[in-house]
Chains A and B, each alone.
Chain A
């Protein structure tokens, strides 16, 4: 702790340190400072920098603060994973009819009853949403599911969730249901018309596990850059509007 406190003291402007550092060090020796005092010293150094508006040091201090905030936000924000699969279709029927069929099936798969089964079977949002009504849980799941065409012959199915394995399992489940039901409906429609079903479906890309949002390194870079720019801007503004006395 002593080393980190001394590091924080170095964040004060040089003229201030020249005048106050010996007695400030003596105070720190007397009081045995802890982490709360470290934060208090960083805050004090920042305010003193604001008073004296040293541009490079302000940039460095704010960059450090940006890194700290970005790191905390990154650690506190739960990681989310998107699992995406691509389903391919082949048939003698026109493209729009195939897409319409799969869309209708997807609408059925994403209706309340099948989604309720999906939530219960995969234990989704068990900790977060047990106190919420099922309607809200369904809404949350629907918001995180994407079913959309990416070409006349292919559909993308995606689910985003904090647990990568559950995200992958739910996407696999959705893909299986959409494929099974689409093929079943296509068979039924063909049988009704007394013709042979030509529609075939296959999994082009199996469900993967891709982290969503900025990584820790990206967040820290953002904090560093944003902090430094903020520091420079504040120092310049202080210099511009500094009172004469």
Chain B
């Protein structure tokens, strides 16, 4: 799973994070290092879709939060992935 938008959504699923915190978190749970351009490309798209929202912050490090729509979208995507994983594992057992 290396789709940057999905990785960002998964990262925000357990709480608000700013860009650098997302980058570190994604590297820790997925082993994928998103470049700054890729990360902010994903953030821009996700915010445009209304799946994440920027929070007010006195700092320049602006945190983001998963919206209800974003949570629903993440659940759908993960369910789809789960089906693929299950089918792949089932087929591997038959070989």
Where the two chains meet, the residues of A that have a C-beta atom closer than 8 Å to any C-beta of B are: 16, 20, 22-28, 30-31, 33, 36-37, 39-45, 47-48
Q: Are A27 and B36 in contact (CB under 8 A)?
A: yes
Tell me whether A16 and B60 are in contact (CB under 8 A): no
B88 at the interface (CB under 8 A from A): no
Q: Is the pair B37, A26 in contact by a Cβ cutoff of 8 Å?
A: no
CA distance A40 to B4 in the complex (A): 13
Contacts A37-B35, A41-B35 known; A31 to B40 CB distance under 8 Å? Answer: no
Main secondary structure of the interface of B (DSSP, over half): helix
Cβ of A27 and Cβ of B37 under 8 Å apart?
no
- CB atoms of A24 and B19 under 8 A apart: yes
Q: Do A41 and B37 contact each other (CB < 8 Å), given the known contacts A24-B19, A27-B19, A27-B23?
A: yes
Chain B residues, CB < 8 A from A30:
19-20, 61
Could you give, for residues 6-41 of chain B, a 1 whenever the CB lies within 8 Å of some chain A CB and a 0 otherwise?
000000000000111001000000000001111111
Query: Could you say which residues of chain A place their CB within 8 Å of the CB of B3?
Result: none
Q: Is the CB of A47 within 8 A of B41?
A: yes
Q: Which of B20, B41, B44 contacts A27 (CB 8 A)?
A: B20
B contact set with A: CB distance below 8 Å:
18-20, 23, 35-41, 43-44, 59-62
Given A22-B60, A23-B60, A48-B44, A43 and B37 touching (CB < 8 A)?
A: yes
A30, B19: Cα distance in complex, Å:
10
CB distance from B65 to the nearest CB of A (A): 14
Could you show 6 A-B contacts with beta carbons less than 8 Å apart? A27-B18, A27-B40, A39-B35, A41-B35, A43-B35, A48-B44
Q: What residues of A have a CB within 8 angstroms of the CB of B60 in the complex?
A: 22-23, 25-26
A20 contacts across to B, CB distance below 8 A: 40, 43-44
- A24 near B59 with CB under 8 A, answer no
Docked pose: A49 CA to B24 CA in angstroms: 27
Contact check, A44 vs B37: say whether CB atoms are below 8 A apart: yes
Chain B residue numbers with a CB within 8 Å of A43 are 35, 37-38
Complex Cα spacing A194 to B38, Å: 86
Q: What separation, in Å, do the CA atoms of A39 and B39 have in the docked complex?
A: 13
Bound CA–CA A27/B39 (angstroms): 10
Q: Which residues of A contact B20 (CB under 8 A)?
A: 26-27, 30-31
Chain A nearest Cβ from B59, distance in angstroms: 7
| Contact of B36 with A24 in the complex, beta carbons under 8 Å | yes
A33 — nearest CB in chain B belongs to which residue? B36
Question: CB-nearest residue of chain A relative to B45?
Answer: A51
Known A37-B36, A40-B36: A23·B41 in contact at CB below 8 Å: no
B19: contacting residue among A23, A33, A40, A48, CB under 8 A: A23
For B42, give the chain A residue with the smallest CB separation.
A44
Measured in the bound complex, the distance between the Cα atoms of B39 and A36 in whole Å is 14
List the B side residues contacting A26 at CB < 8 Å.
18-20, 59-61
Q: Which of B23, B38, B41, B59 contacts A31 (CB 8 A)?
A: B23
Name the A residues within 8 Å of B43 (CB-CB): 20
Interchain nearest-CB distance for A144 vs B (Å): 44
Q: Are B38 and A40 in contact (CB under 8 A)?
A: yes
CB neighbours (8 Å) of B19 from chain A are 23-24, 26-27, 30
Residue of A nearest to B23 (CB): A31
